[in-house]
Amino acid sequence: MQGETGGRWVRWQERVTSWARRLAELPAPVAVLLISALLFARHYDGVLYPSLWGEEGAVLLARSLNDPSPATILLPYNGYVSLVPNLIAWIVAKLPIGVVPFLMAGSAFVISIAAYSLFVSRWFRSIVDDDRARRWIAVALAALPLGTPMIFSTLIYQLWHLLWIAVLLSAVPAPASRAGRITHLVVGALAICSHPLSIVVAPICAVNLIVYRSRHDRIKNLWFLAAVVAYLCLGIAPRAAATPLNVAVSYVPAFVTERVVFDTIFGRYLRFVGGAVWARVGAVCLLGMLACVLVRWRDRFSRRDWTLFAGAGAVILALSLGSAIGRPPHKYLMRYVRYAYVQQLVLVLVLGIVCRRVLVLSGRERIAAMGLALLFLARTNAANSYLFETRRDPHARQLALFLHEVEEQNHGQGPFHDRIAVLDRGRWSIRILPPEQRGH
């Protein structure tokens, strides 16, 4: 009897080990599907039942419908041009108005998935050469409760994911294939021209001009630098900003410790419960532990790793400082998650690389580590689940019916934009009027 029980135990261990090994391989398509599922599980209502919230209707859709010319793509909002959101809104506005909210929310979600899945690509072997480890780091990024539903389902907020894409692409050498290089250049330029804080790409590319000396790398870095300069000259319009520039940066240390460090690891719930002082002390302890790990196992990190860590720290500080200058801290910086979002992604990426270098585990130890990681992620997501409640917008169905009625009324009467005007007022931040009522 004991022998039979022992045999079953051995077979069960073998099955678990085999399952863990297959799971650990994580092919790239499976990683992308897993990332998509994780993001959709948190934000599905924003995609399935979208509403033209705030700037979605008042700015992106309204401008594209009122002025269908391509010049609308280059119009600034709040002091800068968001090229990719403007371009998508301009294209979507040509389609039947009833599907516009779904297309705008769906486009936002696709950009979000692309931003999280980008690190799965072999382009980033210069950062993490192990494909399997890189895929798991990308999945961990999606599994942590970072951001808010608005960041994932609202097109106007995709400028933060585009900033993340710009930072990632600027940090690696040019791809080997011709198609990869062209994609790299086009996507990188579009991402840079969609966020004013993309200026952080400039010093990264300047350093890479020294580190990577091949012809394709120089073309790529000079192209990115040219995109930054062009955007600063043509895409920034301070006079159109809703709020004046703020030069008081006294909130930056508190912002970095509370929002960037503490919230990334433990989530916002513990900070709400424990208070700001607890969060700052916890963040300092976490940074101290990270420093001890780096010193203790410094021989496991290459020169490229140390350069990457220094660059990541500089990017976190630069983005935090840029957010503090661009917004009044009392009103925005410490309140809204989006101003710390990209810094949090950078920090998780660094922590993933550190774990990859330090944790050299055997088969059973790897299974135990995976189990602990899953428990930590489950606990963190459960504690912060209230921040990701994607309750259906009560106006979403009314908006869909409203747009459908407008489309039916204007059916067969020529191009849609010739028959209506869209204003920045109304229940959904827009109101559609016939041409004869313009100005009333």
**Whether pLDDT at 212 is above 50:** yes
What pLDDT is attached to residue 49? 79
User: Which range (19-33, 314-328, 368-382, 389-403) has the least confidence?
Assistant: 389-403
**Whether pLDDT at 249 is above 80:** no
- The whole-model pTM stands at 0.85
Report the chain's mean pLDDT, rounded to a whole number: 80
Distance from C-alpha of 137 to C-alpha of 131, rounded to nearest angstrom: 10
What pLDDT is attached to residue 280? 85
Tokens coding 21: 């090994």
Distances (CA, A) of 292 to 44, 287, 298, 313, 370: 40, 9, 10, 16, 23
**Whether pLDDT at 431 is above 50:** yes
In this structure, is the dihedral angle defined by the CA atoms of residues 153, 158, 164 and 169, taken in order, positive or negative?
Answer: positive
**Whether pLDDT at 205 is above 90:** yes
**Whether pLDDT at 332 is above 80:** no
